[in-house]
Structure formats: structure tokens, C-alpha cells
Amino acid sequence: MPLEIPAQFNIAEEFLARPASEHPDRIAIRGEPATVRYGELAEMANRVGNALREWGCEPGDRILIVLPDSVEFIAAFFGAVRIGATAVPVNSMARAGDDYEYWLTDSGARFAIVHASILSEFSEVERKIGLAGMAVVGIPAAGHRTLPRSALLWDEWLAGVSPELEAHLTRAEDPAFFLYTSGSGGTPKAAVHRHQDMLATSRSFAGGVLDLRADDITFSVSKLFFAYGLGNGMYFPFSVGASTVLLPERPKPENVAGVVTRRRPTVFFSVPTFYAALLREAERGLKLDFSSVRMAVSAGEALPAEIFERFHKRFGIEILDGIGSTEMLHMFLSSRPGQARAGSCGVEVPNYEAKIVDEAGQPVPTGDIGNLWVKGQSAFAEYWGKPELTTRTKIGDWVVTGDKFFRDADGYYHYCGRADDMMKVSGMWVSPGEVENILLGHPMVAEAAVVARVDAVGLLRPAACVVLRAGAEPGPQLASEIQQWVRGRLVSYKCPQEIQFLDELPKTATGKIQRFRLRGEGG
């Protein structure tokens, strides 16, 4: 049965105004760096909405938000959608002017709210493109510096603006926000999401799988500009009147460990590469206190069984692996508490359907690898400005994920890789994840990514890109040892013909491995 969603619906009303009216003094944000209560946050969001209207912002206008995880990010997001505008959060850790120019021109944003740390790069783009209004966060009035002609300091912009604001009468199916795909496969695309989409994911995953409660404290390593992080760190806890912990700076094992110790989260969200990094640093002596955490969640890429088992052994916590996408907003497959299986991302999230099909769109037998299609009420409306790509990705109510999966006899789904990451060797499918998990079991391997490369005679062969643990010495001897390790555990055609040692794997800001760079595609 589909979820019942009101025809007239605004996410700022549901996820901020409602909890603020019911319990204004309850803590919404526990840090970092400061504590903010629901009533205070709602008033700030209302001021943002009123300030945008004073600039001439109208329903449907796009607002580019380039901010670290912070009270200002959340106020800007909800302030924009409350007046019927469209929030467009993007990566605040980018430092290339070309990125900002792409996001501004692609989205058609007329207004922007940016952090001072990227002001010099952004200002060059702003002078080239022009904006109707720009607010800058992170510069106190006393530290005033030369600003672009369209810019105001955040505090000055909101000074004297009313904290009262009537929400625009939006429909559940009206556009509310854009989210750009992470770029793990190339140029990011803007997925258009509607007001109803957050309600669908919060009821289905946050409520139906995680059973979030008002006394929970969530902490997400993934950032708010990313679909996964936006739910984890903002609207999931707000849906039940819980608290969130924000980390403005780039996550590193040592600062994440400090936040967990200080803020005592009960639900911890991260990605496989960061769970691997935490384990690596714990082995080096980093103190990690996960005693407050009742539930750990992973997404972004498939969680290797090796990482699942090592984390459970060290901390006594099973990681709930799942898969979602920018297009579906959040999880559509997930493990369940107490039922997680290493190497599987579980079963369908309530209110979602999934199927595995062949190239003709026909179901494949249980155990066979095929293409994963999903459907649910949080599915994106379209790729902004890309109708042909939208048509290829949405087939009726189904969304073509681009992921290869198989479903076992117990109904558990197993991720095999992106469709363009899978490789056929000697006429047989090879899943990068299967080989990577074997590599991670080697005592000298910290991280691994397997890609297809063409050998001397023009055939595709698996190649492994490996990051070593501390103290390991790269070289032909270790490469041969690692190859022998894999050959003792997999059939020959799956074994890497090449081992390449790297200092680090190329990743997106959300932690996904950029395999196309390892294949040598697109730089």
C-alpha cells in the first residue's frame, strides 16, 4: 500500500515548524560547535525565507547553498523551501571555480548562500555570471572585507528581518530541492526531488527500519549536501524531534572519534571507506568509544564482508548495510537490526519494491546477476534539463539504478557493482566487490579497488589498485604475495593480473571510489 501523503504539503512545515511548535526548547543540533534548539532554528529559517523574499525571490527560483554542515545550512535549506523556492545544496569542500560555475549555470540559480572559505573562488564565478543576491556566512561584521556587489554578510542580511513567516502553499508533488549525483562515474547530474520525497523516506527507512526515537542523537560522517547525509543528519532526526550532531570540517578518523566521545550519538552513519579508515586507525592506537551507539549504518557503496566482521568483532556492533541513491533520495534496500548478514545489503525497505532483470527488462532467476530496478514514492521527478537521460532512467514507475545485483534464496540482495564497473573475463561476469573483499582479508591491505584493464593482447583483465596498511613495503614481492592470496580463494579468471600500489584511492567527497579514474577514463 502506498503511503498516504497530503496533497498540500511543505517539508519546512513538517520537519521544522511542526517540531518547533510542539517542543521549541528541545535540542535540535547538539554541535559542532554550538547547541541550537528547535524554536531558535525555526526562527532563523523564517528569517532566511523573509530575507530571500526581500531580494525578490519567487516560488520556483533556485537557491544555491554552498555551506558546511551547520545551523546556517539547515536554516538556508528550510527557509528556501518554506517560501516555495528550490534549495540546491552542493559540495562546500570543492575548491575549483569550474565546479561552482557548473552548478550555477546548470541549476539556473539566481541566488546563493555561500561560506567565506570559498568566497575568492566563488566571487570570480559570480562576477562572470551575476546573481540577484548572495549571502556570505562565516565573516563577522567586525571582520568585514570587500564583497561582490550582490553580496551581504549573513548576520547583516538577517538583521531586522521578521522571525514570523507563513509557508507558501506548496503541493506534495512540487519541486523542493535538487541533489547532484556524486560524480563517481563522471559529470554530476541534478536529480529534482519533490516535497513528498522526504516524507516517504523518513516514514519508510527512519521509521520502518531504524525505528528512530525522540531520545536518539544521530551523527553522520556523510555531509548534508549528499542525499544520504541529508536524511541522516537533518530530516530523519527532525521527523521524530530527535537531535543531530554536525561536523563542519572534512571528516577524519581523529575528529570523528572526538565527536563520538564528546556528543555520545546513539545512531552512527558512515560509508564503507570510512569504516575501513576507522578500523585502520584503531589498529594504530586511536581511541574509539562507540559505547553510546546502538546502531551503525552504512551506504554509499557495498560494505565488504571483511569490514562488517572486523567492526563487529572490535566494537560489538553490527553495521546495517543498505543501498540508496540520489535518484531515490535514500535507502531502498537495507539490512535489519539483528538480521544483518555480512556481504548483503538486506531486503526491501518498507514501501519500496525491487526487481532484478536482464537487458530486456525480464526477471532473472534467483541467484543470477542482473540489473536492479526499484520503485517507491521518493523517486526523483527528473534530471534537471536532461529529458533524454530521464527517459532512459525512469521506465514507468521503475527507476533503473545502473547497479548489478543478485538475490539469494532467502530474499537477501547482494551488490555486484555498477553496471559499468562489472567486467566479463573469459566470458564470465566478475564482480569487483567480490575480489575486493578477498584483497581486504590480506593482512597488509587497507583499501582496494578492482577495475578492468586491457592487457597486451587486447583482452579485459581484472587489475587491483591497493592501499597498504602502515608499515607495509610496496614492491614486486608483496604484489606477488597478494596475487597468490587471491588465487588461493577465487577461481583463476577473477584474480587480478596486475597489482598497483597507491597512496590513496580517488574518491568523491561522499567517499565513493571513482573507479573511472582508476580505469584511466576522464582523467
Q: What is the mean pLDDT of residues 405-422?
A: 89
CATH of 423-518, one of 3.40.50.970, 3.30.360.10, 3.30.300.30, 3.40.50.1010: 3.30.300.30
- What nine digits make up the cell of 71? 545551523
Mean pLDDT of 399-417: 94
Above 50 in pLDDT, residue 522?
no
Would you kindly state where each structural domain of the chain is located, as residue ranges?
11-180, 423-518
Mean pLDDT, range 18-30, rounded to an integer: 97
User: What burial class does residue 435 get, using C-beta atoms within 10 Å of its C-beta: 0-12 exposed, 13-18 middle, 19+ buried?
Assistant: buried
The three cell numbers of residue 116 are 567565506
- Predicted confidence at residue 334, as pLDDT, reads 98
pLDDT at 419: 78
Please report the pLDDT score of residue 453 as a whole number. 87
Cell numbers 532467476 correspond to what residue? 365
- Residue 523 pLDDT exceeds 60: no
Residue 521: the pLDDT is 46
Candidates 9, 327, 328; CA nearest to 174 is 9
**pLDDT tens column, 218-241:** 999 999 999 999 999 999 999 999
Cα(357)–Cα(402) distance, rounded to whole angstroms?
11
The architecture in CATH of the region 11-180 reads 3-Layer(aba) Sandwich (3.40)
Confidence class for position 258, pLDDT limits 50, 70, 90:
very high
Amino acid at 317: I
Q: Is the pLDDT of residue 116 over 80?
A: yes
pLDDT at 457: 66
Q: What is the model's pLDDT at position 141?
A: 62
CA 346 to chain centre: 19
* Closest alpha carbon to 202 in 170, 175, 241, 166: 241
pLDDT per residue over 333-375, tens digit each? 999 999 999 999 999 999 999 999 999 999 999 999 999 999 9
**Which pTM value belongs to this model?**
0.86
